[in-house]
């Protein structure tokens, strides 16, 4: 990836983590009334945002690489379509698993 793409990706991840921390600040105030620490609540929110962001970006990268290779294979051998769909679906499963882990972290708040 080019340097500008990495800068945009880093800015997006930073924005996502800060946005989740700000969104959970209100809930952290309520959590402090229930005995939880504010830093734990914000840390879990930031961890959930980071897990979701990294897994979704990784899945997007994997689908881009596998999908383009799958189209090349289908152009040469159309009978391999079901096998290539399976590989693309496995790559997309990364995003689903990351989302599930993020939801588990959110439930701990």
Model confidence band, residue 5 (pLDDT cutoffs 50, 70, 90): confident
Q: How many CB atoms lie within 10 A of CB 20?
A: 22
Q: Which of 27, 23, 49, 46 is nearest to 38 (CA)?
A: 27
Q: Which domain holds residue 37?
A: 3-107
Q: What is the pLDDT of residue 57?
A: 86
For the chain, counts of helices (H) and of strands (E): 4, 0
User: CATH code at 84?
Assistant: 1.20.20
53-103 pLDDT, tens digit each: 888 888 888 898 999 999 999 999 999 999 999 999 988 888 889 889 888
Predicted structure pTM score: 0.63
pLDDT confidence of residue 76:
93
pLDDT-derived band at 1, boundaries 50, 70, 90: low
In angstroms, rounded to a whole number, what is the distance separating the alpha carbons of residues 74 and 10? Answer: 35
Q: What is the pLDDT of residues 17-33, one digit of tens each?
A: 776 666 666 665 655 55
Q: How many domains does the chain have?
A: 1
Structure tokens that stand for 15 in this block: 């924005």
Contact, 93 vs 55, CB < 8 A? no
């Amino acid at each position: 990836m080019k340097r500008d793409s990495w800068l945009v990706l880093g800015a997006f991840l930073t924005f996502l983590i800060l946005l989740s921390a700000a969104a959970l600040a209100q809930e952290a105030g309520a959590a402090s009334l229930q005995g939880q620490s504010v830093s734990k609540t914000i840390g879990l929110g930031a961890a959930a945002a980071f897990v979701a962001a990294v897994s979704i970006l990784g899945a997007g990268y994997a689908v881009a690489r596998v999908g383009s290779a799958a189209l090349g294979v289908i152009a040469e051998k159309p009978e391999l379509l079901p096998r290539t769909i399976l590989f693309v679906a496995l790559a997309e499963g990364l995003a689903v698993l990351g989302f599930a882990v993020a939801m588990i972290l959110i439930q701990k708040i």
